Structure 1
Amino acid sequence: MGDREKNVVHDDYNDAISSHYAAYRPPLHQALLAEFFQTSGRGEIDIALDIGCGTGVSSRALIPYCKAIIAVDPSIAMIEQAILTTEPWANIAYCIGDGEALNIPDQQIDLVTFAGSLNYAKSPSLLKELKRVCKPEAHVIVYDFEVHLDEWLLCLGIQMPETAPMHYDHEINFDDCELLRRNIGSVKTVALDVSAQNLAHVLFSSTGRYNRLQAKFQGEDAFHQVVKRLDRSGLNLQIKATTYLYAYTQVTSVNQ
């Protein structure tokens, strides 16, 4: 979860798709965290906890703001990939686990983040653990985003088939939790300028899109054909996304 990147969980990735996925990700984690720190005025964090860290994208986005980061995910494969793609100097400790049973002493955490992972993680047991491990007045950030690519697929002559909707809620948050007081609530659409090559990497980074693009453009050079098509389109190359950001302060100490 986390940046568990829902596509990684549900798609049967091959090496080629994984390479596109690794080559470029829209910097939405960084933008949402920057919005939180600018809006809240919060300074440097001593210890942050990233629950459902997935491949570590969300954890690495915390580096500029935190002295130390603990990142947990229940998937061994995700944690292994996160370690492989994180610089050795980074202040991140990756752990296999989940938010319901954290191997962390009481009142240690100053900031908790859920990057696209709360839909899978939210439970009474999670809330109990947050109350235990967080310092009084700790911050909890819930954020997510939905990237919109249909216009670019249509530009390339591809229409994706209708699929059954996933039981996934981008807007899930902690508004119903008395333990937490909401300070920030933001849902908006953003547009990021990208190169043709980076836009193509995003288009090729899921199994469904990859297979249709390969079939349309025939063969190993399909990626380069798509880059040329996008370059020659004359359109303003952007990736649009709906972003969701909710930030909370813990209002009840562990002793209450």
Structure 2
Amino acid sequence: MENRAAAYSKEIASHYKAYRPELHSVLIKKCLQVDSFQRGLDVGCGVGHSSVALTSYCKKVIGLEPSTFMLQQAHQHPQVCYESVYTKVSKPYDLLCFFGVLFYLTDEEVNQYLNGLTASGSLLVADFKIDYDLATKRMQLKPKALNYEHIPAQNLLTQQARLLKSEVFSSSFECTARELLHLMMTEPHIESALIQRFKTSNFAVLHKEISNFFTEDVVRLQAELNYSLYKKN
């Protein structure tokens, strides 16, 4: 996961900590039963939004994150412990989760995590994509097209696990202008467009600028969510 660690600066980690919509909880509620697992491994957990969301389903959650900056900002929870190196992770675990992280993993790493899963353990592969069109069009931003998809390594996964269910669905959420800015600053292509449009990277100045475009109390955005739930063979 070295590429993932390199992708996140201290500043980006602070934006992740400041605000993320509750979409992890929406995803998990769709496919898991409450209090179903003893120990879950959340690979590439970031600042822990997904790990904390998993605590209603696991007695213990291990958040694995290689980025030092992300771990420094991680949300603390009595049921969650964070590790930066897989060798320190307690094994086995009966739930393995990849939230928007397979893009960064090698086949060797995926196999390593699967090998630590219990014989009848569950595997959750999930992701979401926020639609920023409403915001970018209102601010007359022109972000570069993003050629980026988290495509699960289906062949590799199906060799060791069987698919139980899979779904793609839409959801909406509301956020303030400040929260919207935190979100957009985690998207490099939108961040670049913001800086180009307003000639600054200062958060306070950017917030003042975008508040002129969003005078309502909250902004409603759409997101596309997807998950695939597997059972280890």
Same fold, TM exceeding 0.5? yes
- Alignment partner for residue 90 of structure 1, among 72, 78, 100? 78
Letter of the 2:69 partner, please give it.
A
**2:27 equivalent in structure 1:** 32
- After superposition, the Cα gap between the structure-2 partners of 1:161 and 1:136, relative to the gap in structure 1 and judged at 3 Å, is closer
Deviations 1:89-133 (A, max 9, x none): 4212211224xx57444xx311111111122225155325523x2
Look up the match of 1:137.
Answer: 120
2:164 to 174, 183, 189: 183
Alignment map for 1:207-218 (pairs within 5 Å) = 207-214=188-195, 216-217=197-198
1:225 maps to amino acid: E
2:231 equivalent to 1:243: no
- What are the residue-to-residue correspondences of 1:70-109 with 2, within 5 Å? 70-82=62-74, 86-87=75-76, 89-98=77-86, 103-105=89-91, 108-109=92-93
Of 88, 93, 99, the residue aligned with 1:115 is 99
Report deviation, 1:238. 1.7
Matches of 2:193 and 2:54, distance apart in 1? 35
Any stretches of 5+ residues in structure 1 without a counterpart?
Answer: 252-256
Residue identity (%): 23
**TM-score, normalised via structure 2 length:** 0.80
Structure 2: gaps (5+ residues): none
How much has 1:33 moved relative to structure 2?
Answer: 0.9
Structure 1-normalised TM-score?
Answer: 0.74
User: How far off is 1:223 after superposition?
Assistant: 0.5
> Alpha-carbon deviations, 1:3-58, whole Å to 9, x = none?
x9x7x8536x564x654443211111111111112xxx464321111122232222
Other structure's SS at 1:94 match: strand
Secondary structure in structure 2 of the residue aligned to 1:172? coil
Q: What is the match of residue 153 of structure 1?
A: 136
From the superposition, tell whether residues 115 and 214 of structure 1 become closer, same or farther in structure 2 (CA, over 3 Å). same
Q: CA deviation at 1:243?
A: 1.3
What is the count of residue pairs matched by the alignment? Answer: 228
Whether contact under 8 Å (1:46, 1:66) holds in the other structure is yes
Matched, 1:195 2:179: no
Provide closer, same or farther for how the CA distance between residues 240 and 145 of structure 1 changes in structure 2, counting only shifts above 3 A. Answer: same
The verdict on how the C-alpha distance between 1:94 and 1:128 changes in structure 2, with shifts beyond 3 A counting, is closer
Whether 1:170 and 2:175 are equivalent positions in the alignment is: no
The one-letter code of the counterpart of 1:149 is: Y
Letter in 2 for 1:115: F
Contact 1:174–1:180 at 8 Å: present in 2 too? Answer: no
Q: 1:18 to 1:224 in 2, by over 3 A?
A: farther
The 8 Å contact of residues 45 and 63 in structure 2, kept in 1 or not, is answered as yes
1:45 counterpart residue number? 37
Q: 1:115 to 1:153 in 2, by over 3 A?
A: same
Q: Residues 122 and 35 (structure 1 numbering): CA distance in 2 closer, same or farther, change over 3 Å?
A: farther
Q: What RMSD in Å do the two structures reach over aligned CA positions?
A: 3.1
Corresponding letter in the other structure for 2:118 = K
